[in-house]
Amino acid sequence: GAVVSQHPSWVICKSGTSVKIECRSLDFQATTMFWYRQFPKQSLMLMATSNEGSKATYEQGVEKDKFLINHASLTLSTLTVTSAHPEDSSFYICSALNPGLMNTEAFFGQGTRLTVV
Amino acid sequence: RKEVEQDPGPFNVPEGATVAFNCTYSNSASQSFFWYRQDCRKEPKLLMSVYSSGNEDGRFTAQLNRASQYISLLIRDSKLSDSATYLCVVNINNDMRFGAGTRLTVKP
């Protein structure tokens, strides 16, 4: 069964509104979660690394004020796309590592397909 | 230079063919290695870990060459259901870095 749950799986929103995506680790406490974005027929692009209890680390070119990340608990990280525009339409995926196991694989959420109209 | 580089693909092969994917990584401190599979519009899923001694899982064989910083995946007797994008992933102190992926299409 899934060890990382992402919600919602898809969302359609109007331009200018904000959308929140949740990523939960179900079987372990994830001190670190990762947020990715994937455009059609392109590779996964790391947006930011979410650290529990501290500020997220954003990759170059990712606007931290537009993509708000909150990792307030050891099992939940949220990504809020603020003032969404059609160019933000994409597939957003989170992943988490089990900190109790070094160098293990990452577990992915099911992804969220965002469409901004 | 990208941290993780893969064959760009796409690979279009007939059923039953053997196909090999290659991946190189730049950070010698990389500690663990994986191949993931991603189907269209789905999240990546772990296919197999890659060990220094090489490992096999059915039709899939993965190999790691730390000296050359090179990882490979071999798929034998390919099936239609093997069509997907294959991602090479490197873990550096719990920082996961992904290759761009290689798209495979197996045709009847």
pLDDT at A62 over 80: yes
For an interface test with B, give the residue of A31, A42, A43 to mutate (most B CBs within 10 A).
Answer: A43
Question: Strand locations in B1-108, DSSP E?
Answer: 4-6, 11-14, 19-25, 32-38, 45-50, 55-57, 60-65, 70-75, 84-92, 95-98, 102-107
pLDDT at B91 over 80: yes
**Following CA atoms B37, B43, B48, B51 in sequence, which dihedral angle do they give, to the nearest 10 degrees?**
100
The set of long-range contacts for B62-67, using a CB threshold of 8 Å and a minimum separation of 24, is B62/B35, B64/B33
Tell me the one-letter amino acid at A91.
F
Nearest partner of A68 among A95, A96, A47, A43, judged by Cα: A47
CA distance B91 to chain A (A): 6
**Residues near B40 by beta carbon (within 8 Å), at least 6 away in sequence:** B84
pLDDT (mean) for A83-111: 87
| Residue of chain B with shortest Cα separation from A33 | B95
Band the pLDDT of A52: cuts 50, 70, 90. Answer: confident
Band the pLDDT of B82: cuts 50, 70, 90. Answer: very high
pLDDT in tens, B49-69: 998 888 999 999 999 999 999
The whole-number pLDDT of residue A54 equals: 84
Q: If you average pLDDT over every residue of chain A, what do you get? A: 90
B67 versus B30: the higher-pLDDT residue is B67
Select from B91, B94, B98 the Cβ nearest to the Cβ of A44: B98
A113 near B CB under 8 A? yes
Asked if A93's CB is within 8 angstroms of B43's CB, the reply is yes
| Residue of chain A with shortest Cα separation from B34 | A105
Dist CA A54 CA A68 (whole Å): 13
CA distance A65 to chain B (A): 23
Dist CA B73 CA B22 (whole Å): 7
The whole-number pLDDT of residue A103 equals: 62
**Residues near B27 by beta carbon (within 8 Å), at least 6 away in sequence:** B3, B90, B92, B97
CB A82 within 8 A of CB A114: no
A111 near B CB under 8 A? yes
B96 versus A86: the higher-pLDDT residue is A86
pLDDT in tens, A11-41: 999 999 999 999 999 988 888 899 999 998 7
The whole-number pLDDT of residue B80 equals: 97
pLDDT at B1 over 70: no
pLDDT at B10 over 60: yes
Classify residue A113 by burial, with Cβ atoms within 10 Å: 0-12, 13-18, 19+: middle
∠ CA B94-A73-A12, rounded to 5°: 90
